[in-house]
Chain A
């Protein structure tokens, strides 16, 4: 049970406080309700580029990192398709330093041309390092636009291409800040061995002056139901082939999310999963295979990642994968198999809640989904899943017409 308190400032800032008496550290986690899905198709990668600019100094403080490091703390941030999250970890006695810094950059950034110019280059190098200069690095750049036709999930957080990052202007940066970075669009979570009254006092001191703004209503083009099998083969300079399958699935707060998560576990989580046992251990058609879900807020994806063995054909592998998928649709999963999966979920959950940083992030993200207390009810939601529910959603999701397949072929260089 993760206990927490909740309060809200007049300017709309929602604050969660979690008391943990066992730690000498404190966490200030700031979640902004903006991600790559909120970008315009002409300026993809912008939410992430903007995250970099948040470290380029704020209106009253020229340097974000320095004072925090001086206080013995460290910080970082990440951007996803759904949200942007910033966190600071400091010795508890220096909590106020983090609040000072975070509130100032929520108030306003310094917006220097130098910072924009440099961070554009840094992000372009990040683009190369993670997506272009790695074997299979462009997999998601290729897969997303196949799987999604209308929803902005069709581009990755890094952006569609380097050119769009190169073209980002200061005016766009300022607009983005105005629209998305204000108290009403943020959730602040503070954790540590602290007292609620003290936290309230400090948060009010540093944040209450930040003017409130109207929260922008999100109106994203939602993805239509997929009605045809999509497949594409691309050649890359890689040592071996990789096959990727994706099936559209419910978003995080939709019915069927938990069932589908467990379906992916039955199929391909770990060495006792069905795909692994059959395709790798028994038939030796693959050297590795696994299944997982992308926990997206809107229409998500159940993914299969397949590394074929030398000599195995796509046809053989595809046939065997579909046999396993058909089996979970036609025959109820044994109760014991479901229990096994739930036990793994419970262990993972218990470990994921270790430490105040993990807890703070989870509280903030759950609050964004509607209720921070979901952190405490999530396991129940998995336990409520029935074998019939698994079958129902397996039938719905694991259909050929709901499947997107990307085949990466190793270029043959041996002539």
Chain B
């Protein structure tokens, strides 16, 4: 028998090759990013608009997005869906706080026709009231179901407290659906879709002719200047409990307003976050799941918004473990602030983080996602070189300093629901 207790040698990753997409700029100043060196027949095209929920009310942004394929003067929603399905196509509409992404997905042989159908439908949509009402019915139902979940209740209470002075904290209420006017949707569509195209991204092996056809589609829109709105991100930490008597578990959210990747401490703080709750072997997972068995899962992260970001710890625990869990979280944070992390643990976390970046850059779509996630913040791929360098350089002393700077319990809003 060989000695199985000895681990095989490993080698660390020192460099990752990032490939930039081709960049074309249309007459209307809209950029088209494309990754065309792919090895299969799949194509995904994203049209990204300045139509996120911050640009209006949450409900209007969401409904406008959901109704983009609901029909025009000469085509019903059924006809549009049928046309896309016939070509084996899929569509997607995703509304974030900042942006709306409209996707055309399919195989190469049909993708241009699919994209044309998608764009034609969304340009000519007439927001007929029957479609609006059907959507409202199903939206209200879905929301009522979601509001029953303790995880939803905790997340909503947490965000509305953290961002009480900005639209990030302005959450949809069921009643909001009853105050929708067709005119609101038409107006939002005109300003933020027809005149709000930001960029197009293409992943798939398109030839030049097909690429040009997609560019033509982009030329039908105009691009507005997105103006950053300065909100007041100051807030007072609170402790909030949302009671749900019959719940078997309590959802917990703990955190604070922080920053996004534009901040100088962002990269190094990501290492601190990973140690605390950013991976399966994190301290929170080890203590609260693997040692105590209070939960199926616990994690922490830094959510990034265009202008700011927030740090959060999130879990659902057995109702009887709520206080014990909060104590244990506090303990782990204090430990990070008082004791230096060992070289062994820090080196594991560094290797893990860089391995994950390698995986998250694997494949054309992943590479495009990496590109967009820096481009959005006015950065470029050199950010990742910096990222790898800073991760490799961080010392136990810096981890402790950052934990003391950003992870103080008295700065945290603590929410429980259940």
Contact = CB atoms under 8 A, between A and B. Distances in A.
Contacts of A94: 10-11
A288 B134 CA distance: 10
B4 A89 contact: no
A91 B145 contact: no
A382 to B, nearest CB: 12
A238 B145 contact: yes
A270 B83 CA distance: 12
A287 to B, nearest CB: 4
B293 A125 contact: yes
Interface stretch (B28-36, B253-261, B350-358): B350-358
B8 A133 contact: no
A165 B359 CA distance: 36
Interface string A350-388: 110111000000000000000000000000000000000
Given A71-B351, A129-B316, A280-B134, A350 B41 contact: yes
Interface stretch (B85-93, B158-166, B187-195): B85-93
B1 to A, nearest CB: 6
A234 interface: no
B167 to A, nearest CB: 27
A354 B363 contact: yes
Interface string A94-131: 10110110001001000000000111111111101110
Given A94-B10, A350-B42, A66 B149 contact: no
Using C-beta atoms within 8 Å of the partner chain, give the interface range for chain B: 35 or more
Given A25-B362, A237-B246, A97 B348 contact: no
Contact of A287 (B40, B138, B281): B138
B148 interface: yes
A75 B138 CA distance: 37
Given A74-B356, A97-B7, A69 B348 contact: yes
Interface in B1-59: 1-2, 4-5, 7-13, 16, 39-42
A227 interface: no
Nearest to B418: A133
Contacts of A96: 8-9
A178 interface: no
Contact of B134 (A24, A65, A281, A354): A281
A125 B149 contact: no
Contacts of A41: none
A287 B42 contact: no
A340 B208 CA distance: 28
B280 A65 contact: yes
Most buried by B among A65, A120, A280: A65
B415 to A, nearest CB: 17
Contact of B78 (A61, A73, A281): A281
B196 interface: no
Interface of A: 22-25, 59-61, 65-67, 69-75, 89-91, 93-94, 96-97, 99-100, 104, 107, 117-126, 128-130, 132-136, 205, 209, 237-240, 270-272, 277, 280-281, 284, 287-288, 307, 309-310, 336, 339-340, 343-347, 350-351, 353-355
